[in-house]
């Protein structure tokens, strides 16, 4: 992997990731941009004990532009975009409309391909591996920022999820705090250790592999399963079989196998509701150990993938119980979801 950093016209960092060392990146951002001005701040909720980012400047972000005005496509034919090059493999750059910025963290955009009409599922294993390497590199670099406590690479896919740009891309949030979901995992991890002397993540993975009814697919180094208490209609957790705290700690064997299993999983997601249905909307994100957590070495890196579509043409809305009280009700039994994802393999 070759990494080429540069700066956009407004001072934001952009990094090209290329599979060949021979690639030269010299394009310059010629847009007349003013420096980015943000209003990001974080506020602590004393009742719930969590933190909320306030970012009013995001109201003006780009919203569903036509394909010929996509800001994530390469700069071509006199049209300048966020990526100065006329073509690229994988690109990461600072978000122009960040939820977190400065001493309050950082937000980055990850473009998986220059092809506007592609998707992550349509990538080659080689390109998916390059994305994995970019995620790993950004985790390493962002962990060095004094304001960053936790790094979350993720992809929102589909208008139903709230995506405002159709180009295949994800994001990386570098939080200045431990997120509420991770805090709950750390609490459960500590309680399980105190009660049993064992690691909770190890036990969860061992139990799922032993039961087998919720296993979706398994390789030599990874296991994908629908969790016993899945919150979402179709939800899959992908764990490395050897527990590691973050992407940095994955060994080469796990890195080599990941693209094949993950692409298979995403393609199955697109078949859940039938070939005549639009692509399945989903959220996919890496859960990594916070850099400051005492339990860091006990945390298990894993990817969580889920869709809000519960059946053809119908979405799972977070209404009164879920949004008001955080108490989920799932309409699809996890065993049935796993069975469906096994059924659509290789169709």
Beta carbons of 9 and 83 less than 8 angstroms apart: no
Q: From the candidates 169, 221, 237, 302, which is the catalytic residue?
A: 169
Which residues does 229 contact at the CB level (< 8 Å), separation at least 6?
Answer: 334
Angle of helix 252-269 relative to helix 125-142, nearest 10 degrees, comes to 120
Residues forming beta bridges with residue 120, ordered by sequence position: none
**Helices H / strands E in the chain, number of each:** 6, 15
Q: How far apart are CA 170 and CA 283, in angstroms?
A: 10
107 has binding-site annotation: no
Query: What is the rounded CA–CA span in Å between residue 148 and residue 301?
Result: 18
In whole angstroms, what is the distance from residue 234 CA to residue 227 CA?
10
Active site residue 302: no
| Phi-psi map region of 250: left, alpha, beta (phi>0 left; psi -120 to 50 alpha) | beta
- Structural tokens at position 170: 């994800």
Nearest to 185 by CA among 171, 199, 173, 206: 199
167 is in an annotated binding site: yes
Question: Helix, strand, coil % (nearest 5) of the chain?
Answer: 30, 25, 45
The 10 Å Cβ neighbour count of residue 267 is 17
Binding residues for Zn(2+): 70, 73, 116, 167
Active site residues: 169
């Amino acid at each position: 992997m070759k990494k080429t950093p540069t700066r956009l016209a407004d001072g934001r960092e952009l990094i090209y990731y290329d599979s060949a060392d021979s690639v030269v990146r010299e394009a310059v951002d010629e847009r007349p941009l003013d420096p980015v001005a943000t209003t990001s701040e974080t506020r602590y909720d004393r009742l719930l004990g969590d933190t909320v980012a306030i970012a009013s400047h995001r109201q003006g972000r780009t919203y569903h532009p036509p394909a010929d005005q996509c800001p994530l496509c390469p700069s071509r034919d006199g049209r300048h975009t966020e990526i100065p090059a006329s073509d690229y493999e994988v690109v990461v750059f600072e978000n122009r409309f960040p939820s977190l910025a400065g001493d309050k963290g950082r937000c980055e955009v990850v473009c998986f391909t220059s092809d506007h009409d592609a998707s992550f599922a349509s990538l080659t294993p080689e390109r998916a591996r390059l994305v994995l390497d970019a995620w790993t590199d950004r985790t390493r670099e962002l962990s060095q920022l004094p304001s960053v406590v936790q790094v979350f690479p993720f992809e929102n896919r589909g208008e139903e999820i709230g995506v405002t740009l159709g180009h295949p891309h994800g994001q990386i949030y570098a939080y200045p705090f431990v997120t509420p979901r991770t805090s709950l995992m750390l609490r459960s991890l500590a309680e399980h250790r105190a009660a049993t002397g064992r690691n909770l993540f190890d036990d969860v993975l061992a139990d799922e592999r032993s039961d087998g009814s919720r296993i979706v697919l398994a390789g030599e180094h990874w296991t994908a399963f629908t969790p016993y208490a899945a919150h979402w209609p179709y939800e899959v957790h992908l764990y490395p079989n050897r527990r590691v705290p973050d992407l940095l700690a994955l060994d080469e064997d796990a890195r080599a196998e990941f693209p094949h299993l993950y692409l298979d999983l995403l393609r199955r997601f697109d078949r859940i509701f039938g070939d005549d249905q639009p692509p399945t909307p989903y959220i996919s994100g890496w859960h990594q150990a916070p850099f400051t957590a005492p339990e860091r070495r006990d945390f298990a890196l894993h990817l969580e993938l889920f869709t809000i579509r519960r059946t053809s043409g119908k979405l799972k809305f977070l209404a009164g119980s879920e949004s008001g009280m955080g108490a989920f009700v799932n309409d699809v039994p996890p065993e049935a979801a796993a069975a469906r994802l096994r059924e659509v393999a290789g169709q």
